[in-house]
Structure 1
Amino acid sequence: MPEPRHTLAVIVGSTREGRFAPVIANWFTRHAETHAHIDVDVIDLDTVRPYELRGGTEAYESFAKRVDRADAFVVITPEYNHSFPAPLKHAIDLLRPQWQAKPVGFVSYGGISGGLRAVEQLRLVFAELHATTVRETVSFPLAGNLFDERGELHDPAPAATAADALLKQLTWWAVALREARLARPYGA
């Protein structure tokens, strides 16, 4: 039985100059696109510029619609000082109902922890927004050492296995929660 189609918004959470996020995002997006039932929408906060968004503007409405259209999310986050980037928090805080009753997964990178401390904190933020975070993650400790100059993993198998587990969980939740929202609107 084929998997039901759904839209996955991949949110690239770093906006720092010289950021490593595009390498991670490009790898994950290419991998997610191998799953024929997933339509990927990459929302790069470096392009969205969340601090410049104001309610009622075209840019704000565009961002809100893209988040609202998504059935599931993968947040790609680095770990900065044991946490996640401020622009990512600001982008999340700009919206509320668009996140509700939807699943969120994480792909993280950083030092020895691979960004997992940032993920722990993001789980709390998304719980407050009534989003469901999934257990499986993809984590890249010391990420700069894992990729070559073309942005390819030296050893892709472990990350691909983790990404497939993440996408499998997200698909289940995306479809189940979409059907639930259609049957009965979510009321937080």
Structure 2
Amino acid sequence: MSGTLKLHVVTVSTRPGRVGPKVADWFTGFAAAHGAFEPVPVDLADFNLPVFDEPHHPRLRKYEHDHTKAWSASVDAADAFAFVTPEYNYFAPPSLVNALTFLAAEWAYKPVGLVSYGGLSAGLRAAQSEKLVMTTLKMMPLPEGVAIPMVGTLIDKEGVFRPNDLIEASARSMLDELHRWAGALKPLRAPVSG
């Protein structure tokens, strides 16, 4: 798998009792079966990032804190991202906005697919707000996404997320596009000589 593009499936919610890991587990398995990527599960909660606390601008990559260095290494290793995101107050979760803010160059020229979930709105308002931040960081958020309305009704008694056919079709389409963009953007991520 050394030549396989790496897709980081990032669980964005960090709060206790979150649904995100259940959706992320499903999507990671679905991406593995799809076969275009080597999916890597990443849980934002594992990094325990405080509110942005680096004294230097992220573009300088002069990180002083271990949590930032660990987060930088994780993001740097990815060729593409799938953010599994809820919606808080019609907006992106603060945990994701903060995590994006910590870094700059590590995000650049990488495509992003959004797997949003929630109630009736399926997290779509959060997804739209997240795209604004991502383009500022030179990421390529895709129009294709996975929207999961009424997510609680799709979790079985054992706590396993069970998608319907429409959700799976959306995931397949998003993964196809992510793979196209990840391959096309890879040359832009090569070190610049000179």
Q: TM-score, normalised by structure 2?
A: 0.86
Q: What is residue 106 of structure 1 aligned with on the other side?
A: 114
Counterpart CA distance in 1 for 2:75 and 2:180 is 19
Question: Which consecutive residues of structure 2, in runs of 5 or more, have no partner in the other structure?
Answer: 55-62
Counterpart CA distance in 2 for 1:56 and 1:76 is 28
| Correspondent of 1:84 among 77, 80, 92 | 92
- The alpha-carbon deviation at position 149 of structure 1 amounts to 2.2
| Correspondent of 1:63 among 54, 71, 78 | 71
Counterpart CA distance in 1 for 2:133 and 2:123 is 16
Q: TM-score, normalised by structure 1?
A: 0.89
The answer to whether the 8 A contact 2:48-2:67 is kept is no
Is residue 2:33 matched to residue 1:34? yes
Q: What is residue 136 of structure 2 aligned with on the other side?
A: 128
Q: What is residue 50 of structure 2 aligned with on the other side?
A: 51
Q: What is residue 155 of structure 2 aligned with on the other side?
A: 147
Is residue 2:117 matched to residue 1:117? no
The answer to whether the 8 A contact 1:102-1:177 is kept is yes
Query: Aligned partner of 2:19: which letter?
Result: F
Query: Aligned partner of 1:97: which letter?
Result: A
Counterpart CA distance in 2 for 1:140 and 1:117 is 12
Query: Aligned partner of 1:103: which letter?
Result: P
- The alpha-carbon deviation at position 80 of structure 1 amounts to 1.1
Shifted more, 97-106 versus 37-46: the winner is: 37-46
Query: Aligned partner of 1:43: which letter?
Result: V
The answer to whether the 8 A contact 1:79-1:110 is kept is yes
- The alpha-carbon deviation at position 51 of structure 1 amounts to 1.1
Counterpart CA distance in 1 for 2:189 and 2:66 is 27
Is the strand fraction higher in 1 or 2? 1
Counterpart CA distance in 1 for 2:33 and 2:141 is 23
Name the SS for the 1:81 alignment partner. Answer: coil
Is residue 2:105 matched to residue 1:97? yes
Question: Which consecutive residues of structure 1, in runs of 5 or more, have no partner in the other structure?
Answer: none
Let me know the Cα RMSD of the aligned residues.
1.9
Query: Aligned partner of 2:186: which letter?
Result: R
Query: Aligned partner of 1:33: which letter?
Result: A
Query: Aligned partner of 1:83: which letter?
Result: F
Shifted more, 38-47 versus 90-99: the winner is: 38-47
The answer to whether the 8 A contact 2:49-2:67 is kept is no
Name the SS for the 2:183 alignment partner. Answer: helix
Counterpart CA distance in 2 for 1:97 and 1:138 is 26
Q: How many residues align?
A: 181
Counterpart CA distance in 2 for 1:111 and 1:91 is 24
Query: Aligned partner of 1:14: which letter?
Result: S
Q: What is residue 16 of structure 2 aligned with on the other side?
A: 17
Name the SS for the 1:17 alignment partner. Answer: coil
- The alpha-carbon deviation at position 179 of structure 1 amounts to 2.5
